[in-house]
């Protein structure tokens, strides 16, 4: 199962209390104070684990608690610190304080750490309170409670390229041909029910990550089909690959679907709609596709001059398209860097 939103509670460990104790020795009636400090409470630490791609593991366990610090002991013995608790999350998880809505961290980098709840301070033992005027203090510090909060976790997958299109456009077939992803493929709509990530290797060293998401239909923003729920997973991509099935019997349907998809992107959010798109005419091994393209090529080119023709069956046109994607990604990365400066 793919889970991309979940609420959990985290509770850091409480600090251990300081100890109040006096040294008792046979011939020393006024043995000095010797109560040790308590131990610090453990932290709750979030870690981005690149082996994870969903929040499913967090769905059933709701409370994540680090260990409390142990109290101090006599003979100046410090209590043991509580162990930290590490909660592993898929990279791309946005962590929010559920009460305030504040974004605490965006775990973007693999193995990135974030202390989300700090363990409580320890209390001092009475040995610490000894002074010239008070040689036998009974005073000791109490440990402080650890942070406790409710988190809302939202996964937004990290991919360079988002593959979009109507159901049956051939999105999953393409990603399984060009990457290590192996989603289900079938000739009926809504075969893909959850997003799939794949690493596309190009040449010796070049690579990028593509995301195949479930098909969109008209009215997705009103919840039709699988709705808009998976679009958030392509919000962070730099480029959209818009796949269009050209094997339809009516070329008008092809143009119509193109516009409907743009409307749906816009209804989800303007940023997604504004992302650069590469159009891809799929199933070009089919003779009907070739006929259709002849008829509407100029209209398509007016809508978007970058149009590739591919067949995931024969492999035709794919390599050329991948290099273009690489080139566009490099240009987009450059733009982002310039914006940061
Ligand atoms: N002839 C031909 N058929 C293709 C090609 N690409 C995909 N198909 C077929 O089209 C059908 C749909 O392919 P999928 O890859 O499952 O389509 P999808 O876009 O992932 O569909 P959803 O997951 O439902 O959104 C399958 O029967 C594929 O075998 C192609 O290049 N040529
Ligand atoms: Mg699919």
> In the numeric block, which tokens belong to residue 185?
């493929």
The Å distance, Cα 182 to ligand 2 centre, comes to: 10
Is the beta carbon of 16 within 6 A of some atom in ligand 1? no
CA of 312 from ligand 1 middle (Å) equals 8
Mean pLDDT of 46-66: 94
Q: Mean pLDDT in the chain?
A: 94
pLDDT interval class at 250 (50, 70, 90)? confident
Q: Tokens standing for 136?
A: 């036998």
Contact by Cβ (8 Å): 274, 245: no
**1-155 CATH fold:** Spo0b-associated Gtp-binding Protein; Chain: A, (2.70.210)
- Candidates 2, 173, 261, 283: which one to mutate for ligand 1, based on the most atoms within 8 Å of Cβ? 173
Banded model confidence at residue 46, pLDDT cuts 50, 70, 90: very high
Judge if the beta carbon of residue 190 lies within 6 A of ligand 1. Answer: yes
At residue 22, the pLDDT reads 92
Residue 25 has pLDDT above 80, yes or no: no
Pocket lining: 96 vs ligand 1, CB cutoff 6 Å: no
Q: Which of 185, 257, 317 to mutate to test the pocket of ligand 1 (most atoms within 8 A of CB)?
A: 185
Nearest CA to ligand 1 atom 13: 170
Atom of ligand 1 nearest to the CA of 312: 31
The strand order across the sheet containing 85-89 reads: 85-89, 44-48, 113-117
Q: Does 334 have pLDDT greater than 80?
A: yes
CA angle 178, 257, 274 (to 5 degrees): 70
Q: Ligand 1: which of 167, 168, 280, 286 to mutate, most ligand atoms within 8 Å of CB?
A: 168
- Give the integer Cα–Cα distance in Å for 340 and 108: 17
Domain with CATH 3.40.50.300 in the chain: 161-340
Question: For residue range 264-318, what is the model confidence (pLDDT) as tens digits?
Answer: 999 999 999 999 999 999 999 999 999 999 999 999 999 999 999 999 999 999 9
Class of domain 161-340: alpha beta
Q: Is residue 313 within 6 Å of ligand 1 at its C-beta?
A: yes
Residue position matching structure tokens 């070329």: 251
Question: Cβ(214) to ligand 1 under 6 A?
Answer: yes
- CA dist., res. 277 & res. 173, Å (int): 19
Q: What is the pLDDT of residue 29?
A: 63
Q: What is the model's pTM?
A: 0.84
86/226: higher pLDDT: 86
H/E/C letters for each residue in the chain?
CCCCEEEEEEECCCCCCCCCCECCECCECCCCECCCCCCCCCCEEEEECCCCCCCHHHCCCCEEECCCCCCCECCCECCCCCCCEEEEECCCEEEEECCCCCEEEEECCCCCEEEEECCCCCCCCHHHHCCCCCCCCCCCCCCCCCCEEEEEEEECCCCCEEEEECCCCCHHHHHHHHECCCCCCCCCCCCCCCCEEEEEEECCCEEEEEEECCCCCCCHHHCCCCCCCCHHHHCCCCEEEEEEECCCCCHHHHHHHHHHHHHHHHHHCHHHHHCCEEEEEECCCCHHHHHHHHHHHHHHHHHCCCEEECCCCCCCCHHHHHHHHHHHHHHHHHHHHHHHC
Neighbouring C-alpha atoms within 13 Å toward the C-beta of 310? 27
Distances in whole angstroms, Cα of residue 158 to Cα of each of 32, 208, 234, 265: 61, 11, 8, 18
Ranges 222-236, 267-281, 323-337, most confident: 267-281
């Amino acid at each position: 199962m793919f889970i991309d939103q979940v609420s959990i509670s985290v509770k850091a460990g409480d600090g251990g209390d300081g100890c109040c104790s006096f040294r008792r020795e046979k011939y020393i009636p006024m043995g000095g104070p010797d109560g040790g400090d308590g131990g610090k409470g453990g932290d709750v630490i979030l870690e981005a684990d690149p082996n994870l791609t969903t929040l499913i593991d967090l769905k059933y366990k709701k409370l994540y608690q680090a260990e409390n610090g142990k109290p101090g002991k006599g003979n100046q013995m410090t209590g043991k610190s509580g162990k930290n608790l590490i909660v592993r999350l898929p990279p791309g998880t946005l962590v929010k304080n559920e009460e305030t809505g504040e974004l605490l961290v965006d775990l973007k980098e693999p193995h990135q750490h974030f202390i989300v709840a700090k363990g409580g301070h320890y209390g001092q033992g009475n040995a610490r309170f000894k002074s010239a005027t008070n040689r036998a203090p009974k005073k000791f510090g109490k440990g402080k409670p650890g942070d406790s909060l409710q988190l809302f976790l939202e996964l937004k997958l990290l991919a360079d390229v988002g593959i979009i299109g109507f159901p049956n456009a051939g999105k999953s077939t393409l990603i399984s041909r060009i990457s290590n992803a192996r989603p289900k493929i079938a000739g009926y709509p809504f075969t893909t029910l959850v997003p799939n990530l794949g690493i596309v290797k190009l040449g010796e060293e070049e690579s990028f990550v593509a995301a195949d998401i479930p098909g969109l239909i008209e009215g997705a923003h009103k919840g039709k089909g699988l709705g808009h729920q998976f679009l958030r997973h392509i919000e962070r991509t730099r480029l959209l690959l818009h796949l269009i099935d050209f094997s339809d019997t009516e070329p008008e349907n092809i143009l119509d679907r193109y516009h409907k998809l743009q409307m749906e992107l816009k209804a989800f959010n303007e940023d997604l709609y504004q992302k650069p798109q590469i159009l891809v005419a799929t199933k070009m091994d089919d003779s009907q596709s070739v006929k259709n393209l002849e008829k509407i090529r100029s209209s398509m080119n007016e809508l978007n001059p970058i149009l590739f023709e591919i067949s995931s069956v024969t492999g035709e046109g794919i390599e050329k398209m991948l290099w273009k994607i690489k080139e566009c990604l490099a240009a987009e990365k450059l733009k982002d860097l310039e914006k940061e400066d």
